[in-house]
A = this chain, B = another copy of it.
Amino acid sequence: MTVQPPLSLEHMRLDAVLEGLARGDTAALARAISLVENQREGFERVLTDVHGRIGKGKTHRIGITGPPGAGKSTLTEQLVRIYRARGLKVAVIAVDPTSPFTGGALLGDRIRMESVSLDPGVFIRSMATRGAQGGLATTTEEVADVLEAFGFDRILIETVGVGQTELDVAATAETTVLVLVPESGDGIQTLKAGVMEIAELYVINKSDRPGADKLKQEVEVMLGIRRGNAFAHIAPHHNPRAAKRGGGRRGEAAATDSWEAAVLTTVASNGEGIADLVAALDRHHAYLATSGKLDERRKRRLAARTRAVVNRAIRQWVLDETQAEELLARRLDEVAAGTTSPYEVAAEVLKRLRNGK
């Protein structure tokens, strides 16, 4: 007598998911991503399977970040349209680290993406912190791996906000685009330190509004593109200040030491400037590939990821093995009373580990 398993993703056999992925079945893709996003049983097998099939430099991962209200979703939608017109398969990962508070801030934006969401050559996925136990950047990168293995030519990773988590997520892409609007000008002096230096391309969106030219100039001055001279150089050529800036990108100085960041203007709502942005994106990808930076960058990312994956696995294992949860629960009253400190509880867990539990 056999019992029918319920028709949930957890119960779909892992082999069927892997076969479906290899066959190009979109339903299997969605299931594989859910497995990975929620770290369900077998997710490591999916990712190990995927790992051997990616990194050939065919897929371009593009991070799109910037303050709320900058028009990132509209810009993303326009990029999708152009890529689709060129016959490329496009995936969009919309990452919203703030969602735990509300359960999905991006719904409104997703509705706006409706025009492209019915196209079978487009795959759109929203992700929130919820399921990302091991760090949102790591999970985003893992989902992008699955999408790359599935054969997408462009993976657009859109984040909401300009905080540290959002920058970490954007930094998993090969090219990062920072989207600003004329209204951002006011905050640019504060923004510039840190946030501004992460991108290879800067877009002043809604550039038909007052203040766009002024902001463009400010960003260019800040990036060292424009100094005494009236015209900006936006092509990739050697610039010692660019090299210096590159050093800010966590040990990836080499990745930008002869790419000069470009500042572009767009009006995403009517498509103005999008073709130039697409050209600049292609130029940066070509630059990465021909200079060997793509491979270098990929190795660095893999090193960081392997470290993150090891940490995640260890944490889970230790919690399971030492019944640390149960210990925590018992010690909590003492911690609250001030008689035991969190550091003494940590020492106790470590002692259990040292004594073989």
Contact = CB atoms under 8 A, between A and B. Distances in A.
Interface of A: 44-45, 47-48, 51-55, 67-70, 96-102, 104-105, 108-109, 129, 136, 160-167, 181, 183, 186-191, 193-195, 197-198, 248-250, 298-299, 302-303, 305-307, 309-315, 317-318, 324, 328, 331-332, 335-336, 338-339, 341-347, 349-350, 353, 356
Given A51-B342, A136-B164, A306-B328, 7 more contacts: A44-B343, A48-B343, A98-B193, A101-B195, A101-B250, A104-B193, A105-B190
Number of copies: 2
A141 to B, nearest CB: 10
B313 A164 contact: no
The 9 A-B pairs with the shortest beta carbon distances in the complex, nearest first, are A163-B163, A98-B194, A69-B187, A105-B193, A68-B190, A97-B164, A44-B343, A51-B341, A313-B346
A249 B314 contact: no
B52 A98 contact: no
A165 B166 CA distance: 9
B183 A314 contact: no
A189 B356 CA distance: 53
A166 B121 CA distance: 37
A117 to B, nearest CB: 19
Contact of A338 (B52, B100, B198): B52
Contact of A48 (B98, B194, B344): B344
A164 B130 CA distance: 12
Given A102-B248, A310-B342, A349-B310, A162 B161 contact: yes
Contacts of A45: 343
A191 B69 contact: yes
Which interface residue of A99, A167, A194 has the most chain B CB atoms within 10 A? A194
Given A67-B187, A98-B195, A310 B324 contact: yes
A108 B189 contact: yes
Contacts of A161: 161-164, 195
A48 B313 CA distance: 28
A305 B44 contact: no
Contacts of A346: 44, 306, 309-310, 312-314
Given A163-B97, A310-B328, A346-B310, A353 B249 contact: no
A164 B165 contact: yes
A80 B186 CA distance: 25
Nearest to A136: B164
Contacts of A129: 164
Nearest to A50: B341
B99 A194 contact: yes
Contacts of A109: 190
Contact of A336 (B97, B302, B310): B302
A313 to B, nearest CB: 4
A269 to B, nearest CB: 14
A331 B306 CA distance: 10
A313 B350 contact: yes
A174 to B, nearest CB: 15
Contacts of A299: 332, 336
